[in-house]
């Protein structure tokens, strides 16, 4: 069965964007040192990308206004904004957890949760995320858009791997099985 994977970067203090929604701080500690490309390896097992409206809007207006960077994937934008879908971008008003259940039943590779703090928090609350790939950037923002808010109950995790790369900690966690949560 397909896995739902959150693949995202956050500041050391838990923010995925600054207070203006900016992400220009997403870099390692030494600008003269090359940072390992974990994205290229990650997307080898992905064929579907899910994001919220704000993430989509930031991509098409700021980060990549001329070219849709996820053209080789089927993209879903969870939104209440009425938009015309294309062959590769579907605008849906489903509840995120309903969309995940529907997509997991289809044949294909894994599903990448790309962004959208509210959507991510909803998926965490409903325990729809199978793996958490979180890159911790060596920056303290102090404010902005938090990845984790106090809107869900405790989710015990198991560390699968952790690698340091130019000051960035690339971590992979998965939820512990119910039998592991009691001990």
Q: How far apart are CA 140 and CA 33, in angstroms?
A: 20
Q: How far apart are CA 13 and CA 34, in angstroms?
A: 24
Nearest Cα residue to 86 out of 56, 55, 131, 120:
56
* pLDDT tens column, 77-126: 999 888 899 989 999 998 999 999 999 999 999 999 998 888 998 999 89
Q: Would you place residue 181 in the very low, low, confident or very high pLDDT band (cuts 50, 70, 90)?
A: very low
Read off the tokens for 28: 């390692």
Q: Would you place residue 1 in the very low, low, confident or very high pLDDT band (cuts 50, 70, 90)?
A: confident
| Average of per-residue pLDDT values in the chain | 91
Contact by Cβ (8 Å): 73, 86: no
């Amino acid at each position: 069965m397909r896995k739902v994977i959150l693949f995202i970067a956050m500041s050391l203090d838990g923010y995925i964007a600054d207070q203006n929604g900016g992400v220009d701080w997403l870099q390692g500690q030494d600008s003269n040192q090359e940072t390992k490309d974990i994205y290229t390896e990650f997307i080898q097992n992905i064929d579907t990308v899910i994001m919220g409206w704000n993430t989509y809007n930031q991509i098409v207006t700021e980060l990549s206004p001329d070219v849709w960077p996820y053209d080789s994937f089927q993209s879903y934008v969870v939104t209440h904004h009425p938009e015309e879908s294309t062959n590769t971008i579907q605008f849906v008003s489903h509840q995120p957890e309903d969309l995940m259940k529907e997509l997991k039943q289809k044949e294909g590779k894994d599903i990448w949760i790309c962004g959208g703090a509210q959507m991510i928090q909803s998926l965490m609350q409903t325990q729809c995320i199978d793996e958490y790939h979180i890159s911790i950037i060596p920056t303290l923002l102090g404010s902005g858009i938090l990845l984790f808010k106090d809107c869900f109950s405790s989710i015990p995790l198991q560390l699968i791997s952790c690698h340091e790369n130019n000051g960035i900690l690339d971590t992979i966690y998965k939820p512990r099985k119910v039998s592991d949560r009691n001990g």
